[in-house]
Structure 1
Amino acid sequence: MTTENPQPQPLWQPDAQRVARARITTFQRWAADHHGAPAGGGYPALHRWSVDEPETFWEAVTEWFDVRFSAPYARVLGDRAMPGAQWFPGAKLNYAEHALRAAADRPDEPALLYVDETHDPHPVTWADLRRQVGSLAAELRALGVRPGDRVSGYLPNIPQAVVALLASAAVGAVWTSCAPDFGARSVLDRFQQVEPVVLFTVDGYRYGGKEHDRRDVVTELRRELPTLRATVHIPLLGTPAPEGALDWTALTSADTDPVFEQVPFDHPLWVLYSSGTTGLPKAIVQSQGGILVEHLKQLGLHCDLGPEDRFFWYTSTGWMMWNFLVSGLLTGTTIVLYDGSPGFPDTGAQWGVAERTGATLFGTSAAYVMACRKAGVHPARDHDLSAVQCVATTGSPLPPDGFRWLHDEVGEDLWIASVSGGTDVCSCFAGAVPTLPVYIGELQAPSLGTDLQSWDPDGNPLTDEVGELVVTAPMPSMPIRFWNDPDGSRYHDSYFDTYPGVWRHGDWITLTSRGSVVIHGRSDSTLNRQGVRMGSADIYEAVERLPEIRESLVIGVELPDGGYWMPLFVHLAPEATLDEALLTRIKQTIRAHLSPRHVPDEVIEVPGIPHTLTGKRIEVPVKRLLQGTPLDKAVNPGSVDNLDLLRFYEELARSRKRP
């Protein structure tokens, strides 16, 4: 695929004053004086230097942001191998200590603004956040929590979740969380892998104007997690603590200064969960130091955040963007926590939250932007969004119509940042740059310190052509390992089996000759629904418990208008009928055992499910057929057990006129 118009006009261009005051501009000038960075050439020159001289660049980042090393590092990059890169060996630090530094200078200003579906902001000051973290960290230590122990949260996006994460990091424990709309099986598939010793939980949550009681799920989690030493009850719906559970208020009411455990740079900070196409979700471990320096760079330079900003991203605790949002504290920024439906009481609700909180950077999903466009929402007409400098989107590529709509309906001088990264690195490979123009349908540029390339199947770099998204040099926030992967084989096979020593992410990408980036969607079969990634195996495991279902196949298809079509194909058992009763049971099963987000858009009966010759379900070729790829280009016919079945899916795609 070549670029049709090599010289399109930018939709937006920062003026000279905006470029001059951007933190990345000041950083480049300082790095030129102190570390030999190029003084001229703007962002492209700075990016080239950051990937050509990674040790110098990352050392400059730690100096610029005044990272506090309590023990010195021997060198910046001890081993450049992927996987297995060693960052800042010998160094010790603490992530939570850096997240709470602003409390010293601005104790009475808000660190958090919590908003629920009433849309009234509730502030938590820096001093109070630090005090609660100190109190809870001391209580965790009293419960016997030690560095390396896992602490889990079954929590919505509320201040208590931030306190629990930071207290866990303060003691050197490893945080992990799931949102309370996850069913028990989905949570256990994740938490049982890491064997938590403490569980923070709510009694329920509010969403779409309704209360959802989760006490039965909590009972099941406590029963099925035998390593738990304590459960901490947060009464979001006002119910008393269950028997044997500790009360949140009692653990966070002391006036205790936090003690920050000094841990090695590569000490685990948290476990995030992604999912491939088979087996349990991958338990991805990222380090205290790696996340600290990557997020300082991403938030402080690319997102241009500082103490005067308010950072709102619509997310849940089951998505890496929640962890990314919490890291806004590292730059002294006030972060906005919204707990509720993105479209309650109406589709434009998030714009109301941005107005009420004075958000300067508002992050959301591409799907939400497109939903607002289709619903005829007029954000700037109906809300005072004068504080909003940037609207950022992720979860899926923002379609061209989304760029135009934001420009027309939010502001002509709006910085639109479509960003792309992954749970796997808890950051962005490409996206926001405050000093570069914005072109419709494109991400502005690869991120600093990210050697992002597009490769053909033979590993040749491509420009202005679609290829595989690869990263050819290590990033500090790449996983230090997967949990329960002692020989590293699952980690290796997830990213490094296609191009040895090079990270292959699983996205189709174009790097333009102007230096911008276009993301075309997944090149694998991972489901990406509203920014929450889930493997097809999770769906199969739930659906195929039903006796009427012989086998199933689920596909997620990115649509040109920014939508996402997720059909579930079912091969029924003999005598079974796909009637309304069975349809209802299929959807209820997925909703209860996995997540409401992963209920399929349609359930379609098929004569059979195609497989490889080794018996693996064929997902990516079916996805390509549904996107309009001819059969001979979608699959190698010699690898398929029944080519006629694939012809059925090809004809289905043609008859539905789907892309």
Structure 2
Amino acid sequence: MTNKLLWSSKSSNTLIEDFIKKISNYTSTNNYHKIHEWSIQHKDQFWDAIWDFTKIIGNKKGAVLKNSHDFINSVFFENCELNFTENNLLKNDESDAIIYYSEQRQTKRYSWKKLKEYTFKLSYYFKNKGIKSHDRIVGVLPNVPETVIAFLATAQIGAIWSSCSADFGPKAIIDRFKQIEPKILFVTDKYYYNNKLINTLKHVPTILKEIPTIEEVIIVPYSEKKQEIKFNHVEWKKIFLTNNLYDKFVKFPFNHPLYILYSSGTTDVPKCIVHGAGGTLLQHKKEHQLHSNIKKNNKVFYFTTCGWMMWNWLISSLASQATIVLYDGSPFVPKIDHLFKIAEKEEINFFGTGAKYLDFLKQNNINIKDNFNLTHLKTIASTGSPLMHETFEYVYKQIKSDVHLASISGGTDLVSCFVLGNPIMPVYSGEIQCAGLGMDVDIYDENSNSLIGEKGELVCKTTFPSKPLYFWNDPDNKKYSKAYFEKYPNVWHHGDYCKKTSNNGYIIYGRSDATLNSR
């Protein structure tokens, strides 16, 4: 049975079409599935073309891919160098780089010029404190502009970032950060969710006792209202009173560690997944520009916290010179349709959220299209859990009829997607449109046979740049190998039940393994 056709692209002005023209020397077809086949059969040509097309700033030299037949030990762009933050701060004008809203109706705006200045001031502070390449800097923070600045300054000097959402309890924070021995902790003084004030500072003494490597705590205020703090700390604002800047972009190896994300730790302490600067940047720019049609000066929103990989994915939109729109708090405060009010006001082009948010709107039969002008909205993205047929149809009936609905799926493990949207392909109810370019996705049965039209295990048969560099404290890659390669040797087993449809789309049915990963 073929699922219902809901949308077909009417535009010929997409970045993926521009890319297809650029690679005409390699492949003359316009058929996406044939181009995808080329991208996995000729990874060196493909990823080299992605570097050039997305205009990565760096020194590109040497082989694109080594050890291609050994998944864990494969290496992309081994001799290349770049600075992740440099690639995210390409503009330097007074237009908006970050727009921020909260459920408490706070708003902030950071221009590109101000974002760069604040990043340079904070990186100067880090350097002055003796922070070096590979040192860990961590945050327990809400989704605010200060979190972005802390991350970019960390990456600028080659230190490693890691964050937990402000709603994490002390045990969850300690279980994660204690393993990686950070030197600096950023923490917010408080935050709000569903109009409830939560004091985050009460956990800090316990965190400091359990993680003795933390040398300094920097308090990021949620609002202007101050409160008594009974431990040694530095106030965020004081760091920026100086005129001292560290404005150098030292280039680090392509596979330099960028940040550490975590498995959910349902059976043990969370595994610490180390992702690389170059692989993350390259993969995100591919997904943003080719699969999401995110262009310079677009406005990109994703409803997320700093404990979910979609935060990392959102921030990298800066590398495409897009404006990022942050939101902190409940999406239903002060009203159930509050996020679309922001989308209308800010003329958002890309609106990302979790499937459960869209399900909730559908269950309450919320009419968005008749109450908001969403002329500028081109793409709605959904992830976090499978998007049901009925919710696909709700989006087109009640939100916007002419919009690219991109259901996407990947995870913390690859800080990106295996299957996702495509702005030049049709959208069918209940289906993810395609496998990502360069991603050798298949559906296996228990005996490693490929399946079409039947449920099986989602796998990736060959390597990709945003695979983890390594797991922290896993020198022999034992945890790494067990996590992904135990079921099918040298083939990435993702742990999702999935079906490939007759439309060459994908339907995710949920987790197939007993241990859930945060995704």
TM-score by length of 2: 0.96
Distance apart, 1:527 and its partner CA: 4.7
- 1:244 is aligned to 2:232: yes
From the superposition, tell whether residues 78 and 28 of structure 1 become closer, same or farther in structure 2 (CA, over 3 Å): same
Matched ranges for 1:616-635 at <5 A:
none
Distance between the aligned counterparts of 1:32 and 1:361, measured in 2?
29
- 1:271 is aligned to 2:253: no
Q: Would the aligned equivalents of 1:454 and 1:470 in 2 still touch at CA under 8 Å? A: yes
Match of residue 95, structure 2, among 72, 89, 109: 109
The residue aligned with 1:373 is: 362
Distance between the aligned counterparts of 1:515 and 1:251, measured in 2?
52
The residue aligned with 2:145 is: 159
Q: Would the aligned equivalents of 1:170 and 1:258 in 2 still touch at CA under 8 Å? A: no
- 1:418 is aligned to 2:407: yes
Which letter maps to 2:179? Q
Distance between the aligned counterparts of 1:40 and 1:297, measured in 2?
19
1:609-642 residue CA offsets vs partner (Å, 9 max, x unmatched): xxxxxxxxxxxxxxxxxxxxxxxxxxxxxxxxxx
Match of residue 190, structure 1, among 155, 158, 176: 176
What fraction of aligned residue pairs are identical, expressed as a percent? 35
Distance between the aligned counterparts of 1:425 and 1:357, measured in 2?
31
SS of the aligned residue for 2:406 comes to strand
Distance apart, 1:222 and its partner CA: 2.1
Distance apart, 1:254 and its partner CA: 3.8
Q: Would the aligned equivalents of 2:104 and 2:195 in 1 still touch at CA under 8 Å? A: no
- 1:122 is aligned to 2:108: yes
- 1:199 is aligned to 2:185: yes
1:86-125 residue CA offsets vs partner (Å, 9 max, x unmatched): 111111111111000122xxx1110000111144642110
Larger relative contact order (CA 8 Å, sep ≥ 6): 2
1:165-223 residue CA offsets vs partner (Å, 9 max, x unmatched): 00000010000000111000000000001010010111110111222111111222222
Which letter maps to 1:190? R
SS of the aligned residue for 2:301 comes to strand
From the superposition, tell whether residues 358 and 254 of structure 1 become closer, same or farther in structure 2 (CA, over 3 Å): farther
Match of residue 482, structure 1, among 465, 471, 476: 471
Match of residue 15, structure 2, among 3, 19, 23: 23
SS of the aligned residue for 1:32 comes to coil
Match of residue 175, structure 1, among 161, 180, 188: 161
Q: Which has the larger radius of gyration?
A: 1
Q: Would the aligned equivalents of 2:57 and 2:82 in 1 still touch at CA under 8 Å? A: yes
1:530-562 residue CA offsets vs partner (Å, 9 max, x unmatched): xx55xxxxxxxxxxxxxxxxxxxxxxxxxxxxx
- 1:314 is aligned to 2:303: yes
Distance between the aligned counterparts of 1:355 and 1:218, measured in 2?
39
Structure 2 unmatched runs, 5+? none
The residue aligned with 2:64 is: 76
Distance between the aligned counterparts of 1:41 and 1:22, measured in 2?
13
The residue aligned with 2:82 is: 93
SS of the aligned residue for 2:23 comes to helix
1:464-483 residue CA offsets vs partner (Å, 9 max, x unmatched): 11110000111111101111
Match of residue 432, structure 2, among 443, 451, 455: 443
Q: Would the aligned equivalents of 1:11 and 1:439 in 2 still touch at CA under 8 Å? A: yes
Distance between the aligned counterparts of 1:498 and 1:427, measured in 2?
22
SS of the aligned residue for 2:24 comes to helix
Distance between the aligned counterparts of 1:472 and 1:198, measured in 2?
39
Distance between the aligned counterparts of 1:453 and 1:258, measured in 2?
45
Match of residue 53, structure 1, among 37, 42, 54: 42
Match of residue 13, structure 1, among 8, 13, 36: 8
How many residues of Structure 1 are paired with residues of Structure 2 in the alignment?
Answer: 515
Distance between the aligned counterparts of 1:388 and 1:377, measured in 2?
18
TM-score by length of 1: 0.76
SS of the aligned residue for 1:101 comes to coil
Which letter maps to 1:57? F
Distance between the aligned counterparts of 1:501 and 1:355, measured in 2?
47
Distance apart, 1:358 and its partner CA: 1.6
Match of residue 346, structure 2, among 334, 337, 357: 357
Q: Would the aligned equivalents of 2:191 and 2:198 in 1 still touch at CA under 8 Å? A: yes
1:574-616 residue CA offsets vs partner (Å, 9 max, x unmatched): xxxxxxxxxxxxxxxxxxxxxxxxxxxxxxxxxxxxxxxxxxx
From the superposition, tell whether residues 257 and 146 of structure 1 become closer, same or farther in structure 2 (CA, over 3 Å): closer
Q: Would the aligned equivalents of 2:341 and 2:372 in 1 still touch at CA under 8 Å? A: yes
Q: Would the aligned equivalents of 1:132 and 1:254 in 2 still touch at CA under 8 Å? A: no
The residue aligned with 1:338 is: 327
Q: Would the aligned equivalents of 1:204 and 1:213 in 2 still touch at CA under 8 Å? A: yes
Which letter maps to 1:425? L
Matched ranges for 1:537-552 at <5 A:
none
SS of the aligned residue for 1:428 comes to strand
Q: Would the aligned equivalents of 1:456 and 1:462 in 2 still touch at CA under 8 Å? A: yes
Which letter maps to 2:268? G
Distance apart, 1:246 and its partner CA: 1.1
The residue aligned with 2:282 is: 293
Q: Would the aligned equivalents of 1:121 and 1:356 in 2 still touch at CA under 8 Å? A: no
The residue aligned with 1:577 is: none
Q: Would the aligned equivalents of 1:137 and 1:259 in 2 still touch at CA under 8 Å? A: no
Which letter maps to 1:145? I
Q: Would the aligned equivalents of 1:274 and 1:423 in 2 still touch at CA under 8 Å? A: yes
Q: Would the aligned equivalents of 2:419 and 2:433 in 1 still touch at CA under 8 Å? A: yes
Q: Would the aligned equivalents of 2:36 and 2:438 in 1 still touch at CA under 8 Å? A: yes
Distance apart, 1:40 and its partner CA: 2.3
Distance between the aligned counterparts of 1:282 and 1:27, measured in 2?
37
Distance apart, 1:330 and its partner CA: 0.7
SS of the aligned residue for 1:133 comes to helix
Which letter maps to 1:102? K
From the superposition, tell whether residues 367 and 526 of structure 1 become closer, same or farther in structure 2 (CA, over 3 Å): farther
Match of residue 394, structure 2, among 405, 410, 419: 405
Distance between the aligned counterparts of 2:199 and 2:256, measured in 1?
36
- 1:392 is aligned to 2:381: yes
From the superposition, tell whether residues 239 and 221 of structure 1 become closer, same or farther in structure 2 (CA, over 3 Å): farther
SS of the aligned residue for 2:386 comes to coil
Distance between the aligned counterparts of 1:448 and 1:286, measured in 2?
20
Which letter maps to 2:226? T
SS of the aligned residue for 1:470 comes to strand
From the superposition, tell whether residues 159 and 242 of structure 1 become closer, same or farther in structure 2 (CA, over 3 Å): farther
Distance between the aligned counterparts of 1:9 and 1:184, measured in 2?
47
